[in-house]
Amino acid sequence: MFSFRSIFFFITLLASVAADKAVVRNSRCACTALKKPDIPGAEVISINGTQLLNHTVTAFPGLLPVPVTGLDICAVDVVLRHQGANDQVLVKVWLPLKGWNGRFQANGGSGFAAGALDLTLGPTAKLGYAAASTDAGVGFNPLSPDGWALLPDGSVNQEALVNFAYRSVQDVGLVGKAVTEQFYGKKAQYSYWNGCSTGGRQGLVAAQRYPDLFDGILVGAPAISWPTYVVAEQWPQVVMHEENTFPSPCELKAFTDAAVAECDPIDGLTDGVINDPNACHFNPYKLVGHVIECDGTNITIAESVASVVQKVHQGPYDQSGQRLWYGLNFGAALDTLANTVLVDGARKGSSFFVNDAWIRYWVAKDPKYDLDQVDYTTLAHLFTESAQEYDTIIGSDNPDLSAFENAGGKLLVWHGLSDQIIFPNGSVTYRDRVERLLGGPSNVDHFFRLFLAPGVDHCAGTPSLGTVPIDPFAALVSWVEEKKAPAQLSAQVSGADRIICPYPLTARYIGGGNASAASFDCL
């Protein structure tokens, strides 16, 4: 005999299944009947919606570590163009068929891609968000701008650069929110931006240029002050060429490990992390004469190698001694920007793809430009040329956030202090400039907070080392929706709970023995 409770449960289950089927049927109609949205400054060429059931987004090395499965979505492709730009921009919007949380989230890009498209849309929609991403009309190739940087006559494709730099941020926000409202019959209650690296730079663009587009903006390791920092990435390669010294990755790691060993205990706790790189005054010359093992071979550290490492940490400066940008922090890996390769048994430099392409395509405007010939003087000229020509387009570091503040937006920026690609001091300088313009920390903290993550590499890359923040996006949502400004971010070091403090505070070990989050305070 079935009990009344079991019969009631069975009937409720059948009703729920029937309701879900009805949602899917109705969604299919709504998905295929979407109309072109009206987007200021752009003409929508086409809109196509496709219902995808039990859809899977496959993993992609470096961008999506594990596949996303079981997606039931309305996948919308919107194609638009801007007047006089001769462009064609794709904006993709994914809309959950069930369980929409009432929020919209736009996702940023990586490298030379303005959006990672399905690779960010999948995880975001899985969490119940209406999600959007764009190719900015330049396609999806994070590693190279070869297909769009220059026009056939060899001149810079200015419209494509504008799309990549900032116009696509407005496109994805406006299109995504309009399609979301049309599909669900109501506006998203809250709208967000989420991005790291290039996506972080785009988030700053949103706050600076389109202050009322998003309620909350999460920015990770932003590629801020692009025309300057990208040229600065070439500095380690120039140093190695000028010094005629090309350290192996093993040698470079020895210096990083030595710096961590010396400066890790400064905060009172030895956990493999330099808590405050500014307090670290490691001298690379201490390793001169030391013997290390590299791939089964003993190597004696030479003075020339220590000189290279010291200059890489100091950062670029011109012939008069004026600093041009920052260097890498102690504790950061050196073998990305100071990368070398073996050619016929000899080591030579190998530039990181971002600075390599930027200098060749945009500054020199010559894809065959030989970066091996760049010396200290030439690099200083490249700094000047890059900043003069492109700062207003892609600098993305305007400190005037007053319009964003007045719109009620919240900006949460975090940056790993051991970032080996984008120098974290660039984010610190930006925060300081905002403070100076708007009248000090008390006038900024209520809408913009910066968190510096000790020991963390670029965008908390895999393997995630250091004090890795745990779900900073959730902290942003709480700030926007519950008005709870984040006094700290939850984090972990090798499985142990930690905290990350808002700049200029630093998490200091106050004792307790177990080195848990409770053993730290923001001081």
Provide the greatest CA pair distance for the chain: 92
Q: Which amino acid is at 483?
A: K
Give the tokens for residue 501.
Answer: 């403090």
Give the tokens for residue 141.
Answer: 């190739």
Does 155 qualify as catalytic in the annotation?
Answer: no
Q: DSSP code of 332?
A: S
- Which of 356, 340, 338 is closest to 348 using CA atoms? 340
71 and 154 Cβ atoms separated by less than 8 Å: no
504 upstream amide cis, omega within 30 of 0: yes
Q: DSSP code of 344?
A: T
Rounded distance between C-alpha atoms, residue 382 and residue 404, angstroms: 33
Q: Cα angle at 424 between 332 and 222, to 5 degrees?
A: 120
Give the tokens for residue 122.
Answer: 């999948």
Give the tokens for residue 170.
Answer: 């407005």
Rounded distance between C-alpha atoms, residue 417 and residue 36, angstroms: 44
Does 381 qualify as catalytic in the annotation?
Answer: no
Rounded distance between C-alpha atoms, residue 494 and residue 467, angstroms: 8
Per 3-state DSSP, the chain is made up of helix, strand and coil in percentages (nearest 5) of 40, 20, 40
Rounded distance between C-alpha atoms, residue 21 and residue 19, angstroms: 5
Give the tokens for residue 469.
Answer: 């923040």
Helix (H) or strand (E) run with residue 261 in it: helix 249-263
Given 197, 351, 386, 396, the catalytic residue: 197
Rounded distance between C-alpha atoms, residue 523 and residue 521, angstroms: 6
492 and 498 Cβ atoms separated by less than 8 Å: yes
Q: DSSP code of 113?
A: B
Residues paired with residue 515 on neighbouring β-strands, in sequence order: none
Does 458 qualify as catalytic in the annotation?
Answer: yes
Given 110, 419, 457, 519, the catalytic residue: 419
Residues paired with residue 64 on neighbouring β-strands, in sequence order: 60
Residues paired with residue 294 on neighbouring β-strands, in sequence order: 297
Q: What are the residue ranges of helices labelled H in 398-471? A: 402-406, 424-438
Give the tokens for residue 433.
Answer: 């400039």
CA distances from 505 to 266, 452, 475, 488 (A): 16, 9, 18, 10
Given 55, 82, 313, 458, the catalytic residue: 458
Rounded distance between C-alpha atoms, residue 104 and residue 101, angstroms: 9
Active-site residue numbers? 197, 419, 458
